[in-house]
């Protein structure tokens, strides 16, 4: 029997779950507070230059998940794109992630891989730190003070608004160095950017006769109608009116500027020095190297703590937030008629491919629950 579902949010989470339920014959309404679909992946052509702008920050699609790759390719034409990031630090431009080129340039050497590995282990890494307690100690233990201060310290401090000595060691799980010249930022098998942007892709996902979309509509949890199951991809604490307090987020400010020509020669340039207030500059036309534009649109990106009216970008998930999250998650599990999905609904950082994987799995679990006559869970992917 066809059921009524309401997706709150027309980002990837709401769109992918909604599409799967619509294809299974259910009636799906999607409400979105913004004037566009796509959530934070939203792309829009700049009216002045015609450049495809990643409005809420740069988005590169990468995955090892073949089903997810097939899914996005069924809804958009993807062009190959390799993310190669540069950083400006101490008056020089280096290649990221820190690789053999970066190491040789930084130390003015011509080391081969084995020599560089031995050099870092024996002359740089701080082996006196046996049990690292912070991000800083972990970095010093792996790579030593020189590389840490040039490439990790200032950037991390600007991104998270606190000293790396206050961040947990768990953030840096692996050795963040490569002992070869591979400067492809991601390890995944599939990587690309949709030719006509992510918004067109999400519009395609939502294009189904069983889906009705309303933009510019803020959904208030008090409005839930009888018999409708809600998929909430808004903030978990927002469902409860933030009555226990707010889960902390970092937000981003983008300072847009235009340029005639090529401003920086690459899509993403990080700024490692703490004296430079922005974390990076993105030059959007380089995300579409198959297009040609005389003008250019760039974003200087600044990170800071989110206030109530800001867009929540990165969940902070430190000890205090996790305690509050535990309380909200316990309440959420007692709610009826709602499932919490996506990056905001579960208060986790999720890449796009993981978001789609989780959304597909959530829709399948929902259809299985309907078949068995069991309750649709509050969480398909627990926040903790």
Residues that bind ligand FAD (CB under 6 A): 8-14, 31-34, 39-41, 57-61, 218-219, 233-234, 252, 313, 342-344, 350-353, 355
CB nearer to ligand FAD: pick between 180 and 216: 216
CB nearer to ligand FAD: pick between 149 and 353: 353
Give the residue at shortest CB distance from ligand FAD: 39
Tell me, yes or no, if 250 is annotated catalytic: yes
Tell me, yes or no, if 27 is annotated catalytic: no
The least distance separating ligand FAD from the CB of residue 16, rounded to whole angstroms, comes to: 8
Helix (H, G, I), strand (E, B) or coil at 235: coil
CB nearer to ligand FAD: pick between 194 and 342: 342
Catalytic residue, candidates 250, 300, 331, 364:
250
Catalytic residue, candidates 46, 136, 137, 301:
301
Catalytic residue, candidates 19, 29, 34, 280:
280
Catalytic residue, candidates 174, 260, 336, 375:
174
Distance CA 59, CA 39 (A): 12
CB nearer to ligand FAD: pick between 263 and 314: 314
CB 178 within 8 A of CB 116: no
**Beta-ladder partners of 192:** 61, 80
CB nearer to ligand FAD: pick between 194 and 234: 234
Tell me, yes or no, if 300 is annotated catalytic: no
The least distance separating ligand FAD from the CB of residue 356, rounded to whole angstroms, comes to: 8
> Cα separations (Å) of 333 from 328, 361, 377?
9, 19, 8
User: What are the b/e assignments for 238-277, b being 16+ CB within 10 Å?
Assistant: bbeeeeeeebbbbbbebeeeeeeeebbeebbbbbbbeebe
Helix (H, G, I), strand (E, B) or coil at 6: strand
The least distance separating ligand FAD from the CB of residue 33, rounded to whole angstroms, comes to: 4
> Quick one: how far is CA 292 from the chain centroid?
27
Q: Which two tokens stand for residue 265?
A: 């020669």
Exposed (0-12), middle (13-18) or buried (19+): which is 16, by Cβ within 10 Å?
buried
Distance CA 51, CA 216 (A): 25
Cα–Cα nearest to 196, from 267, 280, 291, 333: 291
- Indicate the helix (H) or strand (E) that contains 283: strand 280-283
Catalytic residue, candidates 195, 335, 351, 361:
351
The least distance separating ligand FAD from the CB of residue 30, rounded to whole angstroms, comes to: 9
Kindly write down the DSSP assignment for every residue of 173-195, as one continuous string. Answer: -S----SSS---S---SEEEEET
- Per-residue HEC secondary structure of 14-53 comes to HHHHHHHHHHCCCEEEEECCCCCCCHHHCEEECCCCCCEE
CB nearer to ligand FAD: pick between 26 and 343: 343
CB nearer to ligand FAD: pick between 119 and 186: 186
The least distance separating ligand FAD from the CB of residue 108, rounded to whole angstroms, comes to: 33
The least distance separating ligand FAD from the CB of residue 333, rounded to whole angstroms, comes to: 20
Catalytic residue, candidates 178, 317, 348, 357:
178
The least distance separating ligand FAD from the CB of residue 134, rounded to whole angstroms, comes to: 24
DSSP 168: B
The least distance separating ligand FAD from the CB of residue 252, rounded to whole angstroms, comes to: 6
List CB contacts of 122: < 8 A, sequence separation 6 or more: none
Cα–Cα nearest to 195, from 79, 82, 338: 79
CB nearer to ligand FAD: pick between 32 and 283: 32
User: Looking at the annotation, which residues are catalytic?
Assistant: 174, 178, 250, 280, 301, 349, 351
């Amino acid at each position: 029997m066809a059921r009524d579902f309401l997706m709150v949010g027309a980002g990837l989470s709401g769109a992918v779950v909604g599409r799967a339920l619509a294809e299974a014959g259910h009636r799906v309404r999607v409400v979105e507070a913004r004037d566009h679909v796509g959530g934070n992946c939203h792309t829009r052509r700049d009216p002045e230059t015609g450049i495809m702008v990643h409005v809420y920050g740069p988005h590169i699609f990468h995955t090892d998940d073949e089903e997810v790759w097939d899914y996005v390719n069924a809804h958009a034409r993807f062009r190959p794109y390799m993310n190669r990031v540069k950083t400006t630090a101490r008056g020089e431009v280096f290649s990221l992630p820190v690789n053999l080129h970066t190491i040789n340039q930084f130390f003015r050497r011509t080391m081969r891989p084995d020599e560089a590995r031995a050099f870092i282990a024996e002359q740089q890494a701080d082996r006196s730190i046996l049990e690292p307690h912070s991000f800083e100690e972990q970095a010093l233990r792996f790579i030593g003070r020189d590389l840490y201060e040039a490439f990790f310290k200032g950037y991390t401090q600007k991104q998270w608004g606190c000293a790396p000595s206050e961040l947990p060691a768990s953030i840096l799980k692996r050795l963040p160095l490569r002992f070869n010249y591979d400067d492809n930022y991601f390890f995944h098998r599939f990587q690309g950017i949709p030719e006509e942007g992510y918004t067109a892709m999400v519009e395609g996902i939502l294009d189904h006769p069983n889906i009705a979309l309303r933009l510019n509509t803020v959904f208030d949890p008090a409005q839930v109608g009888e018999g409708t199951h809600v998929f909430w991809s808004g903030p978990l604490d927002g469902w409860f009116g933030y009555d226990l307090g707010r889960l902390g987020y970092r937000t981003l400010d983008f300072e847009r500027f235009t340029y005639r020509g090529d401003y920086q020669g690459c899509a993403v340039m990080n700024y490692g020095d703490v004296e430079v207030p922005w974390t990076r500059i993105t030059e959007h036309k380089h995300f579409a190297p198959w297009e040609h534009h005389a003008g250019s649109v760039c974003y200087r990106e600044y990170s800071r703590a989110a206030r109530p009216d800001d867009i929540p970008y990165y969940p902070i998930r430190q000890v205090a937030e996790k305690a509050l999250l535990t309380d909200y998650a316990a309440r959420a599990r007692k709610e009826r008629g709602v499932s919490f999905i996506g990056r905001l609904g579960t208060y986790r950082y999720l890449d796009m491919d993981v978001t789609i994987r989780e959304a597909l799995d959530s829709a399948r679990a929902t259809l299985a629950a309907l078949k068995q006559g069991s309750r649709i869970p509050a969480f398909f992917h627990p926040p903790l």
